[in-house]
Structures are given as structure tokens and as C-alpha cells.
């Protein structure tokens, strides 16, 4: 079903039962939402899969994990706005496979691109893939990536792809040398990579100069030459960067929405096929959608990002929680 037709049908029905669906008329300010534009889509490297430039990230706050009905409404609001790519975590306390599987089934499995991370031990990996297909009511998963990468796990992924159980194999790493090693070793077996990319951390792009050694200036064009799809994560530099922007009153600026500017910075890098911010409220979904409907960044937005980047740089790692302090090791101020 087309996304806008889907939303209209939801407004016409009081409830849907008997098919695993459980949602009622949304009597709130989002019920009559009409997108003000379209989200550009990009061909995801050699896979041929079309992904929305804005994706739905997997990180959730605890209170949202405990509110699957609200998350369901957010997913459908994003879909109606043009998001077709959804990253889903089931580990680390997120437990999102089952509720997200139901939400995506409601909107139409073939209309959604499902992105998952393999987390089970090697001896359980085949079973994990089989289980994931069932949970998402499908014979296949679109994008399946490895965080722990070795020959045996890659062989299992290749076997599953050959069997039609997944469409694309990816790898994720938070540092360039490790990712370069994956590309060296697995080359044609890799279909896509997932990397951190935002306005402050790891910003190296092919056309830019004077970046530190540990950036993506070499990696990104190499991935492009291999025709890999590229997923960008942490487009806002983590929740800590957003909190810093709040503290420094960037969100009080009436001339520029700093969150949208952060996303537009990523949109301006054509090598990043899809960026996946975390979304923890309906207003966040709408804010992010509006950034994708108008992806061009203004000069004023660029200036504001530079100012925020400068503040973060002066603080070094102080604004980051311990588990994210590694991000600032790759800092290069936006210029």
C-alpha cells in the first residue's frame, strides 16, 4: 500500500484487529499529518536497493522502549513522510525486533528496508538470521551487518545471502584502520559499510584537505570505488552533543534549527546514502522529516554548526559520557 493511502486508511478505521495489528484512530495533532515534501532516495551501492536519505535510527531512550504504541505511531509517521529505511536493535536492552516487526508488517514489508546487526555468537548466527526473517514476516532481511567480523562469520553471511535470506552484507566499525582491514580482507563479499559521520567527528570527505590521519578522507572514496553503500550513524554527534547545544542555547535560535542543520550537513555529502538519527518523540520525527524535505544547508546554518563545533572542541572530551569519549579523538572543527 502506498504510504499516504495507508495513513488515510488508518484515519478511517476505528481499530484493526485479528491480523496482529493493534492501533486505533490517532486523536492527536499528528493524525492529519501531510508531508510538505518528498525525501530523496539514493541507490545503495551495488545492491540496487533504494534507501531514503533520512533513515530511522535504532537507539531508543528507556521510556520509549517501554511505550511500543508510541514507537509504532512514530514509525508510521516517519513512513508516511517518506522514510523507508529502518535500523533495528534487539540487543543491549532495546528489544525492538518484535514490535518493529509488527509495525513494518503493518506498513508493508516490501515497502520497507530493514537494517539489522548480527549479535549472536558464531554458532548461533545461522539461527539468528532464520529467526529474524520470521520476526519481520519475511523470507529475507534487506541489510544485515557484522560488528564482530571474522572469516567464519562472514562465510555464514555469504551462505545466507546465496540462499536469499539476506540481500546485502555489511560491516560496521568505529575506527578507520579496522574498516580498511575489512575492505582489504573481504572486498567483494561486502555490500555496504556503516560509519560515524557528522559535522564535528570523523568528517573527512574526498574534496576536503588538512584533515588528521584518522579520518575518512581515504576510506570514503575507497568505499565508493568498491561501489559499497554507506550508512552514516551519529549524525548529531550523540545525545551529548545535542545536550551541549541545548545548554549553549542553540535551540533558542529562531533563524536556524540546529538539529536540522546537523542533518543537512550529512545530506551534503553525497557518498553517505542514508543517515540514521535516533528519534525519541513525534516532534523529533517531524523535525527530521522537514530537514530531508529541504536538504540544502544555508550559510547561516553552516556558521552555527561551526560555532557549536568550536565549543565542543574547547571542551575536548568533557561534554561526552565515558563510553563516547573516543568520538572526540577524531575531532576536526568544521570550517
User: What are the structural domains of the chain?
Assistant: 3-330 (3.20.20.100)
Asked if 6 and 112 count as a contact pair (C-beta separation under 8 A), the reply is: no
pTM of the model: 0.86
One pLDDT digit (tens) per residue for the chain, 335 residues: 445 444 444 443 333 333 333 333 334 577 778 888 899 999 999 999 999 999 999 888 888 888 889 999 999 999 999 999 999 988 777 788 999 999 999 988 889 999 999 999 999 999 999 999 999 999 999 999 999 999 999 999 999 999 999 999 999 988 888 899 999 999 999 999 999 999 988 654 444 444 444 467 788 999 999 999 999 999 999 899 999 999 999 999 999 999 999 999 999 999 999 999 999 999 999 999 999 999 999 999 999 999 999 999 899 889 888 888 878 776 544 44
Asked if 83 and 289 count as a contact pair (C-beta separation under 8 A), the reply is: yes
DSSP state, residue 138: S
Instruction: Report the candidate in 167, 198, 154, 221 with the shortest Cα–Cα distance to residue 309.
Output: 198
Amino acid at each position: 500500500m502506498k504510504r499516504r493511502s495507508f495513513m488515510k486508511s488508518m484515519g478511517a478505521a476505528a481499530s484493526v484487529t485479528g491480523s496482529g495489528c493493534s492501533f486505533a484512530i490517532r486523536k492527536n495533532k499528528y493524525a492529519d499529518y501531510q508531508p510538505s515534501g518528498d525525501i530523496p532516495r539514493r541507490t545503495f551501492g551495488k545492491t540496487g536497493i533504494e534507501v531514503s536519505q533520512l533513515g530511522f535510527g535504532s537507539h531508543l531512550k528507556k521510556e520509549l522502549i517501554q511505550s511500543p504504541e508510541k514507537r509504532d505511531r512514530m514509525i508510521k509517521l516517519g513512513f508516511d513522510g517518506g522514510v523507508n529505511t529502518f535500523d533495528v536493535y534487539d540487543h543491549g536492552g532495546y528489544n525492538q525486533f518484535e514490535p518493529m516487526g509488527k509495525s513494518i508488517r503493518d506498513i508493508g514489508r516490501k515497502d520497507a528496508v530493514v537494517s539489522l546487526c548480527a549479535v549472536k555468537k558464531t554458532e548461533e548466527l545461522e539461527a539468528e538470521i532464520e529467526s529474524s526473517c520470521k520476526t519481520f514476516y519475511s523470507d529475507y532481511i534487506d541489510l544485515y551487518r557484522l560488528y564482530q567480523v571474522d572469516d567464519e562469520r562472514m562465510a555464514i553471511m555469504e551462505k545466507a545471502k546465496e540462499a536469499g535470506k539476506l540481500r546485502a552484507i555489511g560491516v560496521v566499525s568505529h575506527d578507520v584502520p579496522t574498516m580498511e582491514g575489512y575492505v582489504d580482507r573481504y572486498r567483494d563479499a561486502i555490500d555496504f559499510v556503516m560509519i560515524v559521520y557528522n559535522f564535528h567527528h570523523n568528517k573527512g570527505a574526498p574534496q576536503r584537505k588538512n584533515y588528521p590521519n584518522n579520518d575518512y578522507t581515504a576510506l570514503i572514496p575507497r568505499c565508493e570505488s568498491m561501489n559499497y553503500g554507506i550508512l552514516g550513524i551519529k549524525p548529531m554527534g550523540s545525545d551529548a552533543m545535542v545536550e551541549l547545544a541545548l545548554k549553549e542555547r542553540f535551540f533558542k535560535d529562531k533563524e536556524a534549527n540546529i538539529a536540522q542543520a546537523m542533518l543537512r550537513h550529512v545530506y551534503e555529502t553525497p557518498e553517505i546514502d542514508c543517515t540514521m538519527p535516533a528519534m525519541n518523540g513525534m516532534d523529533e520525527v517531524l523535525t527530521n522529516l522537514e530537514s530531508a524535505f529541504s536538504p540544502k544547508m544555508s550559510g547561516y546554518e553552516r556558521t552555527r554548526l561551526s560555532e557549536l563545533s568550536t565549543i565542543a572542541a574547547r571542551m575536548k572530551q568533557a561534554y561526552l559520557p565515558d563510553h563516547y569519549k573516543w568520538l572526540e579523538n577524531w575531532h576536526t572543527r568544521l570550517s
